[in-house]
A = this chain, B = another copy of it.
Amino acid sequence: MRYELHYWPTIQGRGEFVRLALEEAGADYIDVGNGSEEEGLGIPAMEPYLSGEVTPFPPFAMPFLKAGDLIVSHVANILQFLGPRLGLVPNDEALRLWTHSLQLTLADFVSEAHDMHHPIASSLYYEDQHVEAKRRAEFFIKERIPKFLDYFEHVLEGSPKGDTYLVDGMLTYADLSLFQVVSGLRYALPQAMQRIEVDMPRVVILVERVAQRPNIAAYLASDRRLPLNESGIFRHYPELDE
């Protein structure tokens, strides 16, 4: 099966959570958004799905995954679909629901990380809401980042199979996504994260463990890993850091 990942080009964004799972598993996939229009890829290849022109099941937004005739949208839903197929989730139903709930918590965390720099409207430039962003960032740094990371620290600490990975002692897509969130926050808020991470030793080790997995390490060193920038979800505006 050759999977098609449909997502905006030039940014990691929400597509990156799907890329990490595909890369870890060594799956065959096309990154449609970053492909060239001459080869029938790029934005023109994705738009007919969003408009509903070519499917009665139009995604609300990107990313979405095409797997044969199937279209799956929303990062958490895509990962839940890919998990069993890529060996990135346990077989047990209860543990799959648990992994999905961790992913949905990460999805909320990602949305809050985005809204830190866009607290008024996604359609406005950052520059047109930077005053509100500064105020929101203070609460995000003081209250929300510690709350979310502390949660994952406790999940690792309490896991019946030990704190190597979040779920059942095996690597799941939720570990890959937690790696991505922490990496993004380190880029966006380096000073705040340096301080906060001191209290999250298990999360820090997990992030390093994911980075050192052979397929992930090779991916991170490749040009398929796009650099973080100020068009994505995790943006470095120094004035928002502490």
Q: Which residues of A contact B (CB under 8 A)?
A: 52, 56-61, 70, 72-74, 76-77, 80-81, 94, 97-98, 100-101, 104-105, 108, 111, 115, 119-121, 123-124, 132, 135-136, 139-140, 143, 148, 151, 154-155, 158-160
A104 pairs with B132, CB closer than 8 A: no
- Which of chain B's residues has its CB closest to A55's CB? B158
A124 pairs with B105, CB closer than 8 A: no
- Which of chain B's residues has its CB closest to A167's CB? B57
Give the residue of B108, B132, B159, B160 whose beta carbon is less than 8 angstroms from that of A135. B132
Name the distance in Å between A138's Cβ and chain B's nearest Cβ: 8
A73: chain B residues within 8 A (beta carbon)? 101, 104
CA distance A59 to B154 in the complex (A): 11
A120: chain B residues within 8 A (beta carbon)? 119, 132, 135-136, 139
Name the distance in Å between A84's Cβ and chain B's nearest Cβ: 11
Q: Is the interface of A mostly helix, strand, loop or mixed?
A: helix
A74 pairs with B101, CB closer than 8 A: yes
Please give the count of copies of this chain that the complex contains.
2
A124 pairs with B97, CB closer than 8 A: no
CA distance A160 to B56 in the complex (A): 7
A80: chain B residues within 8 A (beta carbon)? 100
A115: chain B residues within 8 A (beta carbon)? 115, 119
Known A56-B159, A81-B97, A154-B52: A74·B121 in contact at CB below 8 Å: no
CA distance A57 to B159 in the complex (A): 8
Known A76-B104, A81-B97, A111-B111: A139·B158 in contact at CB below 8 Å: no
A143: chain B residues within 8 A (beta carbon)? 121, 123
CA distance A136 to B135 in the complex (A): 14
Name the distance in Å between A122's Cβ and chain B's nearest Cβ: 8
A148: chain B residues within 8 A (beta carbon)? 60
